Amino acid sequence: MSLADGVDIRDAVPDALAMYFLIKELPVTHSKECLVFGTLFYRMLCFGGPSKVTTMTRRVNVFEYSTWVFFFCEEGHWWTGVLSDVPRLERALSLSAGEAVHTGTPVATLAFFNSLGGYPRGSRVRSKLLGWMRTESSQRGLCESTKREPASDWVSSCVSIVTSPVPQQRDVRDCCVFA
């Protein structure tokens, strides 16, 4: 019952497990390349929008990391997303702002891991993350020569979205541990 929607204590479980794996389980060379966005990230993205999140990330250049890890909670269910090939995405976003022609081939992969299977119906995660990436690239000066955000269709065409098979939970209570 303490893990119900609106109860902040539930956020401590995935945040603590994520930090444990990042610090204790991953080799140092891998953990230095990985940026873990805690549970506060998605809450701020939903309620404050991309500009609110960019104030949270202004002290760190998120594009210096090769992999981003996200945790989402929608309708009381926790799941995870991982964006890989961030440096290639950064280059593509900067070209986009310069009005370069896109090849149509994705340069980065956003994988979703859901212990209830597939991509949750009605989820807003994909559009919110892509919108934040556009705003973040503009804030980081990737588009400095034109002072423009990359076109929204450019961002979505640069990122391949996949759902990866993961162990499935047998009850409705263990999702944050699976995430």
Q: Looking at residues 156-165, what average pLDDT do you find? A: 82
The Cα 105–Cα 168 span in angstroms is 31
Residue 84 lies in a domain: yes
Q: Which helix (H) or strand (E) holds 126?
A: helix 125-139
Residue 3 lies in a domain: no
Strand pairing partners for 80? 71, 113
Is the pLDDT confidence value at 2 over 70? no
**Residues 97 and 123: beta-carbon distance below 8 Å:** no
Residue 2 lies in a domain: no
79 closest CA partner among 122, 130, 45, 125: 125
| Ranges 24-33, 61-70, 73-82, 136-145, most confident | 61-70
Q: Which domain holds residue 142?
A: 9-178
Structure-block tokens of residue 60: 């760190």
Write the CATH number for 81.
3.40.395.10
* Model pLDDT, residue 23: 81
Sheet holding 159-163, edge to edge: 34-37, 67-74, 77-84, 108-113, 159-163
Q: Could you tell me the pLDDT band of residue 1, with boundaries at 50, 70 and 90?
A: very low
Alpha-carbon torsion (147, 153, 154, 158), positive or negative: positive
Residue 4 lies in a domain: no
The Cα 88–Cα 106 span in angstroms is 10
* Model pLDDT, residue 7: 53
Residue 164 lies in a domain: yes
Residue 149 lies in a domain: yes
Q: At residue 110, what is the residue type? A: L
The Cα 95–Cα 31 span in angstroms is 28
Residue 153 lies in a domain: yes
Residue 36 burial class via C-beta count within 10 angstroms: exposed 0-12, middle 13-18, buried 19 and up = buried
Strand pairing partners for 37? 70
Window from 55-64, 80-89, 112-121 with minimum mean pLDDT = 112-121
Is the pLDDT confidence value at 144 over 70? no
pTM confidence score: 0.79
The more confidently predicted of residues 128 and 123 is: 128
Structure-block tokens of residue 21: 């794996």
pLDDT tens-place string over residues 36-66:
888 888 888 888 888 888 888 888 888 889 9
Look at the chain and report how many structural domains it folds into: 1
Is the pLDDT confidence value at 95 over 70? no
